Amino acid sequence: MIELYLSPECPFCRKVERATAELGLIEGTDFSVIDASPGSVGRMTVKNLGGRSMVPFLVDGDSRMYESDDIIAYLKERTGT
């Protein structure tokens, strides 16, 4: 399943969340959200998997990306919308 690492204070994360809603994606079915607040275990995972401590961060199998626009484009492509 697509994993989205997001942080509450991050406006780029809100943008990705809005896109998931607009695309009709369902959390728990189409994607999962991992809290990546500063200092959290999730943020450490982001750094370990991608090399940077930045959110939003998407993991889908071998695909990993940080840019919110890239993430939204990827979600659109994966969901055929």
Ligand X SMILES: N[C@@H](CCC(=O)N[C@@H](CS)C(=O)NCC(=O)O)C(=O)O
Binding residues (CB under 6 A) for ligand X: these are 10-12, 53-56, 67-68
Q: Give the shortest CB-61-to-ligand X separation in angstroms.
A: 20
Q: For ligand X, which is the closer residue by CB, 25 or 71?
A: 71
Query: How many residues are given for the chain?
Result: 81
Q: For ligand X, which is the closer residue by CB, 25 or 68?
A: 68
C-alpha to C-alpha distance for 24 and 81, rounded to whole angstroms = 10
Q: Give the shortest CB-43-to-ligand X separation in angstroms.
A: 9
